[in-house]
Structure 1
Amino acid sequence: MSFRSRWVDPQNAVYLVGTLCFGLGVVHLLTEGEGLGTVLEAAIICSISGVVLVTGYQLPHRRISTVGQWRTVWLGVGVMVSFAMLALSIWMIWRLEDRANELFFLVAFAATLGAAVGTRSGMYSIESEERLNEAEDLTKLLTINQRVLRHNLRNELAVSFGFLNKIEAADADEDVTADVQIIKKHLRKLLRTSDRTREIVSIRENDNGKRFDLPAVVEEQVARIREQHPQAAITTRFDDDCTVSAHAAFPKAIREALTNAVEHNAADIEITVSVHENQQGAAVVEIVDTGEGIPKFDIEAIEGPQETQLKHTQGLGLWIIYWTVKMSDGTLELSESTSNGTVVRITLPQTG
């Protein structure tokens, strides 16, 4: 994925396949004689190659992610090769029966037809698949907001109303300052939860990509966490220089991962943040801590097909990370470290 994204985009890849198929038609016309039959055969190949070129033109305008567009390309190439191999097999059978002729036309026609069928059907099928995934994601997102807001809204307002009733029943000369401060505290928590759920929706709805120097982004966020939490022992290790194209909220996702590790564990927690390139050429950020680990139900909510019970701020932070990585065509893995802490692993395709 990283090599393809550095050197060519999906649209140009489809154009390349279409041009190759068109070239097969031209070669057939120039090498197989000047008869009308040859001209018609070449016209058939060139016409079908036009379908591939039209698909290439339409591809970036469809509601398909970059990963989905590359899947369309490879599906088209795969069907093209399969059709060409099928044609070659038919020709070999004919040859065994002394009926072999028109090998080039047969293979060229089959390959071009395969490219047209593969890219066209691939574009529509992958677009449908991604729309289905999008509907499932939106359902998940709606469920998150509904459950979190319902739980927090009920709890925080119940506490606030309890203290308001206490203030209402108090004597005129009674000091209620402490009660007012408690009410403000709970309302601020409710406001913060509302802001964070709105932030999750914003990440999902705004697909704004940016290029990031990964070590620089991580170092900047680590510096911010160190400033806010001087007691945190954070070690960084940058094995490779990695450049990625990710959602604009990606620095926020890194900060959320670090904040979760610091704020939801003991003060003596040790955190190691590393950046490296894996064997597939993708960029990897690993945040490993020695804390108590992420609650099991939070991990199940992230990794499961549907959102499960989620009732606290740490879970919301995980969803900010999840949606940011997902909108960046990356993957998020949560696992247990050797010290029974947490490993947050973010993998993203690199760009040149």
Structure 2
Amino acid sequence: MSTQSTHQQPRFDREHWLTTIPEWELTPLRISLVYLVLGTAALFFSDVLLVYWIDSAVLLAQLQAAKGGLEVLLTAGLIYVLTKRSRRSLQRKNASLRELKGELTVLHRVFRHNLRNSMNIVEGSAENLVREIPDTGENENINRILRQTDRVVRLCEHASTIEDSTIVGDQNHVAIDLSDLVASTVTEIRDQHPHVDITTDVPEDVTVQAHPQLETALREAISNAHQHADTDSPQVEVVADRDREDVVLHVVDNGPGIPDIEYEALETDGKASLTHGAGLGIWMMNWVLRQSGGALRFRPSSSGGHVVFVLQANSS
């Protein structure tokens, strides 16, 4: 029994062929050069060659009119082809960026979720050890574990806030009553940390246009003020005033102030140096303020730390 080998002709794949053609990037300069070359050639043909070849003035006028119409048609076709190709290239790049952003978002959320769950397990185990081990020097190592797990959990929360606040656009700005925001935030912190002395001075008729995550940024500023205080009686003062079209919110404390390493990380945006500061708290505040159309500032203070939120006043 003989076997017959069949040789199939390779099928022409138009889509694959089109994708393998190297695409010429349509920069404004290249488009201008193409139009300049074609326009110069058309003028030379019309005003030099036709005049040289044609003796009849009537015929020359007719040919130049026809040439003008053809130029308009070709120019319109060239613009259509160039813009369509540029738009198609932009659509492909945007689709690729959206897909990449979606994948990174899922990856970051899964990573943060798993990391936080693991830290909760570590924290629970360390708390059990604190209860089981006598009060010896070994407890200090366990307390260090607890502090570090709490720090990692806070990093995850800050990273989540930064991700949520990177959506730009005026449609994400909301009118926020600054007095209500400060009052609710301070009340929450007082309930959790009754030993902290927090005073406020915020006018009741001040509203700002800001990102919805402004409350998280304010809570971070006040929390940092008392968490890093090197005194048994931490004091925090929250004061707001108006500076022309801006509203300036001051958070002043009697702690050690903001370390220089945090300033450097904020100024370089974390890209120009391997020094990234102690955490993401200041980055998170800066991100929210930037997305709010405002700014984060630090001022020297004789009493300790001094964080400043610059926000846009609500014009409505």
TM-score under structure 1 length normalisation: 0.45
Q: Which of structures 1 and 2 has the bigger CA Rg?
A: 2
Higher helix share: 1
Q: Which has the higher contact order (CA 8 A, sep 6+)?
A: 1
TM-score under structure 2 length normalisation: 0.50
